[in-house]
Every structure is written in structure tokens, then in C-alpha cells.
Amino acid sequence: MKQIKVFAPATVANVTCGYDVLGFAVENPGDEIVARLIDEPKVIIKKITGDGGKLPIEAEKNTAGVSVINYLKHIKSKQGIELEIHKKMPLGSGLGSSASSSVGSVFATNLLFGNLLSKRELLQFTMEAERVACGSAHADNVAPSLFGGLVLIRNYDPIDVIKIKTPKLFATVIHPEIIVKTEDARNILNKNVPLEKVVKQCGNLAGLITGMFTENYELISRSLVDEIIEPQRAKLIPNFYNVKEVAIENGALGCGISGSGPSIFALSKDEKTAEIVGEKMKKEFAKIKIENDVFVSEINNEGVKVI
């Protein structure tokens, strides 16, 4: 039986001033997905590990299944796909777990069909899968998981996704074991933003992009500020500001909420700093007895890949 195994990286969306427009991929954690060609024209999820029994095994309810179902429809396939999903990352953590699964499965499937479509063409199927997972076809996790690197979602209609060049950057991601529902994190946001805050956010966002292209770490650091979303969502994560403070104090360029939380990310210039930052963040959560996992890796620049 023809099969392919891929790694689909976890992703950090809502990168401080880049709310809903920026996301990046990390080397660790991520999902491992195995896809096999089968003769019947259907999608079967044969096995899921690492999810603690929480994910649906029905293909049409699981993002990994949904992206493949839509792909097979699109290419009018007479064959089907059997999937194994090995979750190597926390669910509901703000690290784009559902996105990694849908990206991994459709990327593997496309390879089994002889690489019929480009990554850009696969994007639509993963976005549709996001609609199943979170109610809207967001691209800010699926696009970085697919393409790697720091990705700008400039527009949705039509979709316009642009990879942003970055200098060497290391991400520290900490996942505290608390529950923040995406729905709550959305509902908590004011529907309107004071104009002066918009201007500040725009200044920082333009500064962040400029810092990336000019490899100016000081500018990146000054710009990694969220004037709009973080002040509203920080209250959903106990000790958030202390965790952020120790990250910055210990050399991180910046720190913010990953996705809609509860994970928190920091960016650093080098691996050693990223590791120290992780240890210090861990201690802050330990102080209030919240279990947590820390992941340190370079920004993943390749996106989903065969392993």
C-alpha cells in the first residue's frame, strides 16, 4: 500500500501587532500524519494518537479529514485516503492544532496523487477545514503551517498570502494547561477600536515588517507590541503579564499571546536566549501551580514536509 508520512508544524498566529494578519511556523511541536491511498473513494481516519481521545474519528468532523475530502472532490478522484494522525502538540492551545492536521493530511494526499497541485492551491482546502474547526475559514494558522516562515494574510477576498523574509529567529512557546475557548477569546473583544490605538498598532506593524526585511532586531523588538488585542485577552491567562515580563527581562525580543491563547510565545535572536526565556516563563506558571509545556525551536522556514 502506497503511503507517505509528513510533519506539519504548529503555528503562532496573531503575532502581537499582527492580529489576524500574521502567523509563523515553528520546528517544534507539530503533527505527524500518515496518508495511504485506498481503492474506495472515501476518507477514513484509521488511528489518532496523542489527543487523549478528544478528536473525532469521523473524517467529515476532523479537519485532517475535511481538507482531504475537499481535495479528492476537487480532483474528482476515484481513489480514497486512509489517515493516521499523530498529535504531537497540545489541542486547543492556541498553536493551530486543527490547522496542522488539515495541512499535513492534504499535503501528504497531494503527494500520493503525484503532486498534482501547488501549496498555494492546497491552501483553499485547509481554509475550508478551518471553517469546520472554528467557524470561519481563517488562514493565519494554515498558511504558515503550509508555507513555513512568517506569513502575511493580506486579504481574504480574494485570498492573498505573502511570505515575509525574516532574519534568524528562535521561538519559545509555552502552553499552560488551562482552557481558553476560542469563542470566549473572540467574544471578549470590543467590536470597535479607538482610532489612536489603530494608529499605534499600524506603526508597530509597519515597524515589524520593516525590521524583518532590514534584519534590524532592535526595531523588531520595539515593534512587537499589541495595543489592541492583548490588553483585552490577557485576563484570560493567569499571570500573563509576569510571564511576559520575565521573557523580556531575560532577553526575548518580544512576547505575546499565541493565537487566541492560552499559549504564549516569545521571539529571541538566538537559541540559548530562547531556552533561558522558556525556563523563566515555566517558573512563573509553576509559581501559581499551573502545569505547562515549553517548546523551543527556530522559526520553521519550510512548512509541512515529508519525514
Q: Which of 84, 130, 227, 284 is catalytic?
A: 130
Q: Please pick, from the candidates 76, 78, 192, 289, the single residue that binds a second copy as defined by CB under 8 A.
A: 192
Q: Please pick, from the candidates 120, 154, 235, 272, the single residue that binds a second copy as defined by CB under 8 A.
A: 154
What contacts 208, CB < 8 A, 6 or more positions away?
A: 15, 16, 17, 18, 22, 219, 220, 223, 224
Cβ 135 to a second copy shortest distance, Å: 15
What contacts 86, CB < 8 A, 6 or more positions away?
A: 31, 32, 33, 34, 48, 49, 50
* CA 286 – CA 55 distance, rounded (Å): 28
Cβ 290 to a second copy shortest distance, Å: 29
Cα angle, residue 261 at apex, residues 200 and 59 outer, rounded to 5°: 125
Query: Which residue bears the cell 467529515?
Result: 60
Binding segment toward a second copy, per CB under 8 A, in 4-12, 63-71, 86-94, 151-159 = 151-159
* CA 299 – CA 9 distance, rounded (Å): 10
Can residue 152 be called a binding residue for a second copy (CB under 8 A)?
Answer: yes
Q: Please pick, from the candidates 50, 56, 167, 203, the single residue that binds a second copy as defined by CB under 8 A.
A: 203
Binding segment toward a second copy, per CB under 8 A, in 18-26, 95-103, 265-273, 295-303 = 18-26
Does residue 60 carry a catalytic annotation?
no
Does residue 172 carry a catalytic annotation?
no
Can residue 210 be called a binding residue for a second copy (CB under 8 A)?
Answer: yes
* CA 133 – CA 257 distance, rounded (Å): 20
Q: What are phi and psi of 133, to 5 degrees?
A: -75, -40
Can residue 231 be called a binding residue for a second copy (CB under 8 A)?
Answer: no
What contacts 239, CB < 8 A, 6 or more positions away?
A: 284, 285, 287, 288, 290
Q: Please pick, from the candidates 41, 47, 120, 206, the single residue that binds a second copy as defined by CB under 8 A.
A: 206
CA 263 to chain centre: 11
Q: Please pick, from the candidates 75, 179, 202, 286, the single residue that binds a second copy as defined by CB under 8 A.
A: 202
Cβ 101 to a second copy shortest distance, Å: 25
Q: Decide: 71 and 106 in contact? Cβ < 8 Å.
A: yes
Binding segment toward a second copy, per CB under 8 A, in 44-52, 187-195, 269-277, 288-296 = 187-195
Can residue 307 be called a binding residue for a second copy (CB under 8 A)?
Answer: no
Can residue 190 be called a binding residue for a second copy (CB under 8 A)?
Answer: yes
Query: Which residue bears the cell 520553521?
Result: 300
Q: Please pick, from the candidates 199, 288, 306, 307, the single residue that binds a second copy as defined by CB under 8 A.
A: 199
Binding segment toward a second copy, per CB under 8 A, in 13-21, 167-175, 257-265, 271-279 = 13-21
* CA 254 – CA 275 distance, rounded (Å): 14
3-state secondary structure of 176: strand
Site residues for a second copy, 19-58, by CB under 8 A, read 19-22
Nearest to 129 by CA among 152, 158, 107: 107
Footprint of a second copy (CB under 8 A):
17-22, 152-155, 160, 162, 164-165, 189-195, 198-207, 209-210, 213-214, 219, 222-223, 228
Positions marked catalytic: 130, 182
